[in-house]
Amino acid sequence: MPVEIGKSWADDVEELEDQGIEETVDDEGVRTVTQITTNEDGKKVKIVRKFRRVEKRTLVNHQVAERKTWAKFGAEKNSKPGPNKATTTVGENVTLKIHPGSKAAETEQQEQVKNPLAGKKVKCRLCQGEHFTTKCPYREVLQSVGIEDVNPDDVPPAGAAAAQPGAKYVPPHRTGGGESMTRTRDDLPTLRVTNVSEDATDDDLRDLFSRFGRVHRVYIGRDRETGQGKGYAFVSFEDRAVAERAMQKVHGMGYDNLILNCQWSQPREARPAPA
C-alpha cells in the first residue's frame, strides 16, 4: 500500500484498527459492536460486544441543568463532552446486602480468633488446678520437683542390663538399648516435639533431652530456603523408658517462652493423611 506523503506511519496503523469496528443496531435496540483486531500472536481476533442502552430520565432543577452545559476547564479543557475513558471507568459489580447482625457474626468469628482458649478449661501444669501455671500458688514448691530434679545418676546407662553382674549376656538389640545393624531409624523410640522456638539448635535440644538419657539423634524441621526452624523437632532416644520419662517431663515445659508439646512420633505410614 503506497503511503501518502505527509502522513505519519502511526496514523496509518490507527486507521487500520479503526476499520475493524462495526456497529449495528437491531430492532429491539440491541447494539452489536464487532471489532476485528490482531492479537499479540499475530492472529486475527473478532470481538463481539452486545449491549443495550437504556435511557434514564431524571428531573433536575435549573441550576443543575445549567451546570451540565458548562464548558470544561483545566486539564479537561477542549475535551469532548461525555466521560473520558482515561479518567472514568465502570468498575466490577459490587453487592451491598443490607441485613442486621452482620456485625454479630463477624465479631463472633473475631472473638474466636482472638481467644482460641475461650471455652477451654485452664489447667495448671504443676498442680492440675484451674488456673494458669504461672499463677500457681504451689509453683515454688512443685517446680523444684519438676524438670530440674532429674538426676543424671538416675539415668541408667545404656546397656545397663547387660552390665549387671551375674546376668546372662543379652545382645544389645534385645535389651531395647544400643544400636544394631538391622535397626532403622523408625524403630528407635522417637518423640515428636512441637512448639519449639525457631532459634533452637540441634545442640540446644540435645542438651535438653540428654538429661534423661542418651539421645540418638535430634532432627529439627527447617525451612528449606531460609533455614529457619519450623517449630517442630524429632528426638530419638536409645531407650524407650528414657523416652517416656522425657516425654512426661518435657511435655508442657516452658522453653524459650514457648510451651513445648511432646508426643510419640507416629511412623509415617500410620500417620493420617493430611486433610
Partner 1 sequence: MRPILLQGHERSLTQIKYNVDGDLIFSCSKDHRINVWYSHNGERLGTYDGHNGTIWTVDVDSESRFLVSGSADNMMKLWEVKTGKCLFTWEFPTAIKRVAFSDDDSLIACITEQRMGHQGAVRVFPVNRNGTGTEQTQEPLSMFHPIESKATVLTFGTTSDQIITGHESGKITLYKTKTGDEVVSNKRAHREVVTDIQMSPDRSYFITSSKDKSAKLFEAKTLDELKSYVTETPLNSAAIAPKRPYILLGGGQEAMNVTTTSLRQGKFETRFWHKVFEEEVGRVKGHFGPINTIAVHPAGTSYASGGEDGFIRVHHFDDSYFRARPYGDLEPEED
Q: Given the rule CB under 8 A, which residues bind partner 1?
A: 58, 60-61, 63-64, 67-68, 70, 72-77, 79, 81-84, 86-104, 106, 110
Q: What are phi and psi of 238, to 5 degrees?
A: -95, -20
26 vs 108 by CB, closer to partner 1: 108
| Minimum distance from residue 66 beta carbon to partner 1 (Å) | 10
State the nearest-atom distance from the C-beta of 50 to partner 1, in Å: 17
Q: Hey, what's the cell of 84?
A: 473520558
* Residue placing its CB nearer to partner 1 in the complex, 61 or 226: 61
Environment class of 163 (CB within 10 Å of its CB; exposed 0-12, middle 13-18, buried 19+): exposed
Task: Pick between residue 110 and residue 144 the one whose CB is nearest to partner 1.
Answer: 110
Residue 17: helix, strand or coil by DSSP?
helix
Closest distance of CB 182 from partner 1, Å: 51
**Dihedrals phi, psi of 191, to nearest 5 degrees:** -105, 140
Per-residue cell: 185: 531409624
Question: In terms of CB distance, is 19 or 93 closer to partner 1?
Answer: 93
Residue 45 · residue 39 · CB < 8 Å: yes
Q: Residue 186 and residue 174: Cα distance in Å, rounded?
A: 16
Nine cell digits for residue 229? 526452624
CA 122 – CA 35 distance, rounded (Å): 69
| Cβ proximity to partner 1, 10 vs 104, nearer residue | 104
Cβ 52 to partner 1, closest distance in Å? 15
Q: How far is the CB of 13 from partner 1 (least distance, A)?
A: 26
